[in-house]
């Protein structure tokens, strides 16, 4: 029945007898017969190893990646340059196969990677402490929201509609089952409507979530937002692009209490959507409310530098009802990629990457809108993404771009119906003038 399970008939009879069952069918008696599959799976005939490899390659080749296409698609996942050293180090077996350090202090290498990662995230965000083990940006944002509710003893979170739609969807899903209210505040000309925020923020608000640069790539001014939420004794949660922090103010400088974001752009491949890593950093006063694990530095009995798991407030380590979160995947390899990337780039390199993103994206916007066929959707300062619109359906635009070997912009109308023909283009430091000019030329030729 199960070709690849090496149990003999005697083994089966012995196990069935041990549990008081007469046959394997008895194991499924609680499942109604009409719900059981009464036929073989449609998986085709068996293949030899050679045939299987050929078949899998044919399936894989149906995908088109950034190796074949010029990518101007962002919306949360970005085609940044990845230094060759990252692949060289992370494919070493001691990193590639390592997992959660259950006997933590024995795994000094793993702990040091996490410690260095935490240190660099703190340097980037200006915060006091960072953790590890966030799945991705959206779940990091959720964990920050839970932190805010736990810290303030309140049950309401405000999130701007300029925050990535996927982040907001994940937030709604998680909060629904925690009986936490999620209130979305409207936007005005591509940024958070501060007056609307002022009218809905109150003493029941645990925190407000603002993304900057926001989903449309616009750099938000958080001056008034910070005043509004702190006057109500709530917490400011900023969702940030780590690359932008090479030139923009840190979340700490903006008055944020918690900083979160997606770390994919820090040396991680696009990977067709994952795995990625989320980051979360905060001020020291809330360190015991943080999920995941926190690695600290100490000294061993010989006086040598050593690393320890300082805090691990999750359900695998402490009583479940006292755990801050049940998030428990390690994401250690992704964090290592971020560490190598930030170490390789350094402050100067990160600043240069961020600067080139700004320069190239503004050059692209000027080229695209020169003939007035495509117009800027907003007139606001932006980092590396910008939104444009035209009389041509966005889906048609992207189809034409794809024919010319270009992965086009994100179709904004999927999430914001008021921007039916809107397209969100991302321009990273990898895009050369020739590629940007090709994009412009294809767009100009459309009718």
Concatenating the DSSP letter of every residue in 277-301 gives -EEEEE-GGGGGG--SBEEEEEE-T
Secondary structure element (H or E) that encloses residue 185, with its range: strand 181-185
Helices (H), 47-135: 49-60, 84-90, 93-96, 108-125
Q: For residue range 306-339, list pLDDT tens digits in order.
A: 998 887 655 455 555 666 676 766 688 999 999 9
pLDDT band at residue 100, thresholds of 50, 70 and 90? low
What pLDDT, on the 0 to 100 scale, is given for residue 313?
54
**Ramachandran class of 179: left when φ > 0, alpha when ψ lies in -120 to 50, beta otherwise:** left
Q: Which two tokens stand for residue 168?
A: 């907001």
The CATH code for residues 84-341 is 3.40.640.10
Arithmetic mean of pLDDT, 88-110: 81
Tell me the mean pLDDT in the region 184-197.
97
Domain 70-80+348-444 has CATH 3.90.1150.10: yes
- 362 and 173 Cβ atoms separated by less than 8 Å: no
pLDDT bin (cut points 50, 70, 90) of residue 132 is confident
Measured CA to CA, the distance from residue 447 to residue 441 in angstroms comes to 12
Distances (CA, A) of 91 to 9, 114, 159, 373: 42, 17, 39, 47
What stretch of H or E contains 14? helix 9-19
C-alpha dihedral, 57 to 63 to 66 to 69, nearest 10°: 120
pLDDT tens digits along 341-387? 999 999 999 999 999 999 999 999 999 999 999 999 999 999 999 99
Q: Token pair of 384, please? A: 């590396």
Contacts of 425 (CB under 8 A, 6+ apart): 72, 74, 361, 364, 365, 368, 385, 386, 387, 388, 408, 409, 439
Listed in sequence order, the residues at least 6 apart from 219 whose beta carbon sits closer than 8 Å to its beta carbon are 212, 213, 244, 248, 380, 381, 382, 383
Average pLDDT in the chain? 92
pLDDT, residue 305, reads 92
Q: How far apart are CA 164 and CA 168, in angstroms?
A: 7
Can you tell me the mean pLDDT for 197-213?
A: 97
Pick the range with the lowest mean pLDDT from 91-105, 124-138, 175-189, 341-355.
Answer: 91-105
Question: What does the DSSP 8-state code read for residue 29?
Answer: T
The mean pLDDT value for 99-106 works out to: 71
Helices assigned H by DSSP within 74-222 = 84-90, 93-96, 108-125, 137-152, 165-176, 194-200
Distances (CA, A) of 193 to 159, 233, 263: 11, 20, 27
Range with lowest mean pLDDT among 81-90, 324-333, 400-409: 324-333
DSSP 352-420: HHHHHHHHHHHHHHHHHTTTSSSEES--S-BSSEEEEE-SS-HHHHHHHHHHTTEE--EEGGGT-GGGT
Report which of 307, 423, 338 is spatially closest to residue 375, judged by C-alpha positions.
423
**Among 134, 58, 88, CA closest to 328:** 134
Kindly report, as residue ranges, where domains of CATH 3.90.1150.10 are found in the chain. Answer: 70-80+348-444
Torsion sign, CA atoms 282, 244, 407, 386 = positive
The region of weakest confidence among 14-28, 328-342, 390-404, 411-425 is 328-342
So what's the pLDDT on residue 324? Answer: 65
What phi and psi values does residue 386 have, to the nearest 5 degrees? -150, 155
41 pLDDT higher than 70: yes
Instruction: Give residue 1's Cα distance to chain centre.
Output: 42
If we measure between CA atoms, which residue out of 240, 294, 290 comes closest to residue 119? 294
Whether pTM > 0.85 for this model: the answer is yes
Tell me the pLDDT tens digit for each residue of 230-260.
999 999 999 999 999 999 999 999 999 999 9
Provide the pairing of β-strand 187-188 with 181-185. Answer: unpaired
Which of 271, 283, 289, 282 is CA-nearest to residue 331? 271
Average pLDDT over residues 169-192: 96
pLDDT > 90: percent of the chain: 78
Q: What pLDDT, on a 0 to 100 scale, did the predictor assign at position 366? A: 97
Residue 163: CA atoms inside 13 Å, Cβ hemisphere, count?
29
For CATH 3.40.640.10, list the domain ranges present in the chain.
84-341
At 337 the pLDDT is 96
> What's the pLDDT band for 45 if we cut at 50, 70, 90?
confident
Describe the crossing of helices 137-152 and 165-176 by its angle, rounded to 10 degrees: 50
Angle between helices 108-125 and 332-368 (to 10 degrees): 30
pLDDT digits (tens, 9 = 90+) for 284-309: 999 988 887 889 999 988 999 999 88
- pLDDT over 90 at 190, yes or no: yes
């Amino acid at each position: 029945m199960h070709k690849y399970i090496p149990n003999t008939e005697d083994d089966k009879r012995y196990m069935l007898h041990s549990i008081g069952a007469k046959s394997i069918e008895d194991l499924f008696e609680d499942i109604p017969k009409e719900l059981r599959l009464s036929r073989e799976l449609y998986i085709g005939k068996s293949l030899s190893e050679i045939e299987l490899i050929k078949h899998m390659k044919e399936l894989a080749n149906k995908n088109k990646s950034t190796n074949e296409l010029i990518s101007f698609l962002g919306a949360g996942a970005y085609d940044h340059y990845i230094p060759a050293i990252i692949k060289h180090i992370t494919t070493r077996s001691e990193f590639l196969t390592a997992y959660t350090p259950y006997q933590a202090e024995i795994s000094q290498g793993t702990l040091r990677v996490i410690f260095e990662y935490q240190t660099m995230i703190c340097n980037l965000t200006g915060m006091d402490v960072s953790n590890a083990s966030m799945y991705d940006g959206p779940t990091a944002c959720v964990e920050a929201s839970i932190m805010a509710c736990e810290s303030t003893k309140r049950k309401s979170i405000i999130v701007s509609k300029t925050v990535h739609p996927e982040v907001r969807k994940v937030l709604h899903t998680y909060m629904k089952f925690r009986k936490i209210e999620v209130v979305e505040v409207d936007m005005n000309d591509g940024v958070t409507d501060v007056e609307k925020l002022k009218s809905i923020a109150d003493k029941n608000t645990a925190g407000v979530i603002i993304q900057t640069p926001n989903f449309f790539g616009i750099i938000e001014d958080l001056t008034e937002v910070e005043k509004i939420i702190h006057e109500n004794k709530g917490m400011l949660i900023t969702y940030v692009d780590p690359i932008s922090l090479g030139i923009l103010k840190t979340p700490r400088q903006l008055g944020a209490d918690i900083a979160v974001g997606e770390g994919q752009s820090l040396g991680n491949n696009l990977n067709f959507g994952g795995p990625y890593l989320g980051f979360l950093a905060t001020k020291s006063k809330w360190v015991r409310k943080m999920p995941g694990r926190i690695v600290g530095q100490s000294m061993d009995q010989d006086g040598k530098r050593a690393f320890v798991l300082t805090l691990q407030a999750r359900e695998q380590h402490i009583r479940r009802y006292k755990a801050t979160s049940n998030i428990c995947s390690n994401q250690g390899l992704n964090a290592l990629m971020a560490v190598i990337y930030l170490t390789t780039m350094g402050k100067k390199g990160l600043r240069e990457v961020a600067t080139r993103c700004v320069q190239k994206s503004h050059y692209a916007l000027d080229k695209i809108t020169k003939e007035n066929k495509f117009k800027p959707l907003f007139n606001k300062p932006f980092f590396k993404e910008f939104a444009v619109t035209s009389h041509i359906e966005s889906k048609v635009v992207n189809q034409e771009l794809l024919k010319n070997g270009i992965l086009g912009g994100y179709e904004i109308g999927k999430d914001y119906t008021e921007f039916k023909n809107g397209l969100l283009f991302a321009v990273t430091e990898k895009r050369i003038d020739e590629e940007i000019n090709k994009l412009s030329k294809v767009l100009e030729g459309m009718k």
